[in-house]
Structure 1
């Protein structure tokens, strides 16, 4: 039986280790951005897209992420679940650009 180690799921999808400018050190600008998002990271700032699914913007390792996630409730407290995706700003932009194509496909299949 081999002992393999895995990165946490959240890092598997957003690891941009090929970025030559990423030194791992947090700048003052990044720290300020993280603090701003952390202070704004309340239930009021989450966008509800269904009963259990929400969209939130957060900072992780100095990068802004658009987090689309399913939540569950434990004693009335909403907690993030495993089901979801975190998109980088670049990925979010590409998704927004693809919306007309997605809408066209939905429209052509729903008739």
Structure 2
């Protein structure tokens, strides 16, 4: 049974609890920074497309389809160790992508209204 805080002397508390807590916070922070670095890096997909990880199984991709550059946001699934695109997603033509980029500031403001 754990000791109650009332019975722990100040010398035990200072020497045992604080260093452990600081180490855990540092480790978590380092892990978050590593994940951010991994997510921002581009990788090549099985079809030669550029893949940018947005979340665990969601990616933004840049590929070519019938001679047209396409920007996609799609959920992927694991099929025996290989990532495959799922049904949920959207592909934008280069013109649609450029129109979306032009409206990013307005979209960002609308998002802030709901936050």
Separation of aligned partners in 2, 1:67 and 1:90: 13
TM-superposed deviation, 1:40: 8.0
RMSD across aligned C-alpha pairs, in angstroms?
2.3
Aligned residue among 28, 31, 48 for 1:41: 48
Q: Relative contact order (alpha carbons < 8 A, sep ≥ 6): 1 or 2 greater? A: 1
Aligned residue among 59, 63, 70 for 1:58: 63
More helix by proportion, 1 or 2?
2
Q: Does 1:73 align with 2:78?
A: yes
TM-superposed deviation, 1:50: 0.6
TM score, norm. by length of structure 1: 0.59
Unaligned runs of 5+ in 1: 1-36
TM-superposed deviation, 1:38: 8.8
Aligned partner of 1:93 in structure 2 is 98
Does the 8 Å CA contact 2:45/2:51 hold for their aligned counterparts? no
Structure label with greater radius of gyration: 2
